[in-house]
Every structure is written in C-alpha cells, then in structure tokens.
Amino acid sequence: MDQSNPVPQPRPWRVLAVLCVSVLLVGIDNTIVNVALPTVAAELSADTSGLQWMVDGYTLVFAALLLVGGYLGDRYGRRRMLQLGLARYGLTSLLAATAGTTAELVTARALMGAGAALIFPATLALLLTAFPGARERATAIGVWSAVTGLSVAIGPVTGGWLLEHFAWGSVFLAKLPLVVVALVAGQLVLRESRERAPSRFDALGALASVTGIGLLVWTTIEAPGHGWTSAVTVAGYAGAVLALAGFVVWELRRPEPLLDVRLFTDARVSAGSGAIALAFFALFGFIFLITQYFQAVLGYGPLAAGLRTLPFALVIGATAPLAIMAMHRFGTKRVVAAGLLVMALGFVTAAGAAVDSAYWGRIVVSMVLMAAGLGLVTSPATEAVMGALRADQAGAGSAVNDTVREVGGTLGVAVVGSVLSTVYAGTVRDALAGAPAEARDLAADSVVAGLAVAAQSPDPGAADTVRQAFVDGLSAGSWVCAGACVVGALSVAAWLPARARDEAPVPAAVAVG
C-alpha cells in the first residue's frame, strides 16, 4: 500500500516533461510501424496476418505484461523499472531494425512490448506522486493524455519521412536517441518511489491474465485463416474465456491480488476504463486500415501518407487539455459521451470512402472528427479512473488505466484487421475467379500482394478490383469502429457519474534518495 510522505517530488513540471518523453516513445511505437507495413510486406513477403502480428506482437505483450510491470515498479521502484524498461526497449529496437524475416521482426516487436510494459505504468504512477493535489493532477493528466494522443500521429509522420530516405529498419533505429534522452533525464530529474510494504507476487494471476489476453488476441487475428466457426477458433475463444474467468475468481480470493478486480465495482473505474478501451479499440483499428489505404489505394508514398495523419496530432493536441476544462464545467459524463459520439461520426464518414476519394474532403473530415472525439475522451476518462481511487490504490489504478488502453488498441487491430482480411480476401478471390488458384491465394494475402498479382495480370482492371476489395474491407472495418464508439457512448451515459466526487489530495509514495 502506498504510504503518505509529506515531501513531494521536486520541480513537478520537470518531472512531467521527463515522463512525457518516455510515454511519447512508447506511444510512437504503437503507430510508427503502420506506415511501414506496405514496405515491410513487400520486402519480407508478409501476409495480412503477419502484418497484424507486427503491430500486435508489440501491443499484445505490452498489454499482457502491464499488470506485472506495475507490480514490479511498486515493489522495486518505479524510476528503476522505468529506466530498465527504457534500456530494454532500446536494445530490442536494435534487434527489430536488423530482422531478416517476418518471424524475427514479430519476435523483436514482442520483446519491445515487454520493455514498454515496464515504462508505461511507471509514468502515470510517478505523475501521481509528483502532483498530489486534485486540480494539478487533473491538469497533468490532461497533458499526459495529450502526449499519448500526439504520439498516434507523430509515429506515421516520422516513419514516413524515414522510409522516404532510409531502409525500413530506420523506423526502429531513429528512436534510440530519444531513449538516451529519456534515460539521462530520468536519472537527473526523477526521484525513486515505491510501496512501503509491497505484496507478494501473484504468479498464478499473472499467468492467467497473460494466457487469457494472449489467446483472445491470437484467436481473433488467426480466425479469418482458420474460419470463424472452425474448431481452432472456437477452442481459442473458449480457452480465453476460461483463463480470464479463472483470473477474476482467483483475484477475488487472494488477500494480495495482482489486480483488485473489486475496483471495477466503482462506476467511475468501470465506465471510465470501458470508454478508454473502446476509444483506443476504434482508433488503433482504423489507423491499421488508413495507412495502407493511403499508400496502396491512393498511391501516396510513405512520407506523404504519414503527413496526412497530421490532423490527428494537431486536433488531439488542441482538444485534450481543453477537455479537462470542459469536464470541470459540464461534467465527466457529458464530455466523454460526446467525445465517443464525435469519434463514431468520424468513422461513419470514413466508411463512405471510395477508391478515388479526395484527401481534402471526406478523409480529412473523418480524421478531424476522430481526433477531436479522442481528445474529449482520454483526459476526462483517465481522471475519472484515477480520481475515483484512494491514495493507496494509485498503483492499481495506473495498471488498470494502462491495461485497458493497450488491450483495447490490441483488440482493435486484431478485430478490425480480421474484418478487413475476411472482406478483402473473399472479394478478391471472387473477382479474380478466372485467374489461377495460386495467384488468387497470393492476391488474397494482402493488398500489397494483390497489387503485385494484378500487375502481372492481362486484365487491365485487375488493380482496380484489388483496390476496391480493400476499400470494401475499410468500409466494413470503419463501421465496426463506429459501432464500438456508440456502444461506449451509451454505456457512459448510463453508468458514468456526471462529476467527480470531492477528492483529498493523493499523497506521494515513499520517496527514496
């Protein structure tokens, strides 16, 4: 349990700056790879499932180990785990840059996710230690949320510029200087904090959570290949449900659980977490689609594609801090529900995209709506979760907030990517019915492979057929994203309290040195 300490962290806004550098690094990796997917698909001969695993290999391990990462920070020191995670992240980025096969790249990305799982929970826990006052804490969380949102767009822009000038491995190497900056600044500015009396490690709970989340995501990604009603798919989902149910039952019985699942009986925690999960489910799923759409359908290069995601950064950067002001005036419920509905409108707009849609029209309007909605959701929903907890629950609250964000994003890529794969593959196979079976199968693997097959086809309309098949998948995926946001908005309207209760300041954790 975190204990009160009257001595706060020094220079809290400097602390926040250092933490934002670290969280920016982790957030960039959620999206920087997306813009490189067409290039990597061509050079490593990766199919759609392989591309999904390049994204989800990172986010899956990241999400699955967040609870463990938060525990290690509480027990051994949050600054120490932050620094260890940054060092591991840098080394595994180097491994990813030198990968020669799809399997090697996916493995390196998974190892990077393990490093990120040490970084992310430490940033929010250290933020709470540095800002014990409720109002300052809300402002700091608004800035922290804005940076996580900015990273969504900075990743594709940075990746696009690098791919224009260097090999695809540069998207990993370019982050190493930022790792060094974060390590040095963290050593100079941050003070150590940890729980005074940390609980014993819940090994069985950790195993059950990792197994459940891993099976859920793996089954969703592989379902189009095996078939949604196949024995493998059904068994995978059944195993995931059993593992996660077992995790809940086990955690309820343990006196010192890895995650106190009773926290979710508080409507601010459960509804706030659900809003975050669904917002990032929709956002990450759509980014997986749109970066390929820009390059494979509209024909933009990597840099041009990345630059066209800038509306996300600009709008989120402007909206996230303002959302805290709106929350104080109108209440958490209204702001978060409105944000989810605005996001849903953006996805509905994107669902009408065509092969020849102009960027400065439907596409940019849809992205502005999504970004504005996300900005309205993240800061107030995060404050709802963290503000609902007692001081001694700050570490658990950080783990909950981070885990639902990453699990939502991971499942978004898995579900939306699988919807795309199902629609695209079926349409391409039907449209190329006259082509050899081997060519049809290859074209169905990914839009990059489909365009390569079309280039060798005597049919002059084959490439347009492939692009239209991808747009059909994009439309279906966008409707899934819109539906997720509407469900989230209705849930928030029904269960999230209108305003935060009056909170006592969150005292700092035990500071060391």
Q: Is 215 contained in some domain?
A: yes
pLDDT exceeds 80 at position 49: no
Task: Supply the pLDDT for residue 145.
Answer: 79
Task: Supply the pLDDT for residue 352.
Answer: 95
pLDDT exceeds 90 at position 96: yes
Distance CA(240)–CA(407), nearest Å, equals 14
Residues 6+ apart with CB under 8 A from 507: 2, 3, 4, 5, 6, 132, 391
Residues 248 and 170 reside in one and the same domain: no
Residues 234 and 249 reside in one and the same domain: yes
CB 186 within 8 A of CB 83: yes
Q: Is 63 contained in some domain?
A: yes
Q: Which of 120-134, 137-151, 229-243, 498-512 has the lowest mean pLDDT?
A: 498-512
Average pLDDT of span 396-418: 81
- Which residue type occupies 11? R
Distance CA(193)–CA(210), nearest Å, equals 26
pLDDT for 299-337, tens place per residue? Answer: 888 888 888 888 887 888 788 778 988 998 999 999 999
Name the residue with higher pLDDT: 500 or 252: 252
pLDDT exceeds 50 at position 466: yes
Mean residue pLDDT of the chain comes to 85
| Two tokens, residue 189 | 């500015």
- Which has the closest alpha carbon to 239: 224, 218, 261? 218
Average pLDDT of span 154-170: 87
Q: Which of 28-37, 248-257, 463-472 has the lowest mean pLDDT?
A: 28-37
Distance CA(510)–CA(498), nearest Å, equals 33
pLDDT exceeds 90 at position 512: no
Task: Supply the pLDDT for residue 507.
Answer: 45
Residues 218 and 242 reside in one and the same domain: yes
The total domain count for the chain is: 2
End-to-end CA distance of the chain: 19
| Two tokens, residue 210 | 């990792």
Distance CA(208)–CA(64), nearest Å, equals 10
- Which has the closest alpha carbon to 311: 383, 236, 248, 367? 367
CB burial string 194-208: b at 16+ within 10 A, e below: bbeebeeebeebbeb
Name the residue with higher pLDDT: 197 or 105: 105
φ, ψ for residue 2 (rounded to 5)? Answer: -70, 140
Task: Supply the pLDDT for residue 8.
Answer: 46
Q: Final residue of a domain: which of 235, 257, 279?
A: 257
Task: Supply the pLDDT for residue 170.
Answer: 92
pLDDT exceeds 60 at position 391: no
Residues 175 and 243 reside in one and the same domain: no
pLDDT for 214-227, tens place per residue? Answer: 888 788 877 877 88
Q: Which of 206-210, 466-470, 492-496, 509-513 has the lowest mean pLDDT?
A: 509-513
φ, ψ for residue 388 (rounded to 5)? Answer: -85, -10
Residue numbers of the domain that contains 237: 202-257
Residues 233 and 330 reside in one and the same domain: no
Quick one: which H or E segment has residue 497?
none
Alpha helices in 32-133 (DSSP H): 37-44, 48-76, 78-97, 102-130
Residues 417 and 332 reside in one and the same domain: yes
Q: Which of 354-358, 390-394, 418-422 has the lowest mean pLDDT?
A: 390-394
Work out the pLDDT band at 143, boundaries 50, 70, 90. Answer: confident
Residues 209 and 233 reside in one and the same domain: yes
Residues 404 and 451 reside in one and the same domain: yes
60: domain CATH number is 1.20.1250.20
CB 275 within 8 A of CB 401: no
Residues 6+ apart with CB under 8 A from 288: 34, 52, 55, 412, 413, 416, 417, 420
Task: Supply the pLDDT for residue 88.
Answer: 95
Task: Supply the pLDDT for residue 390.
Answer: 64
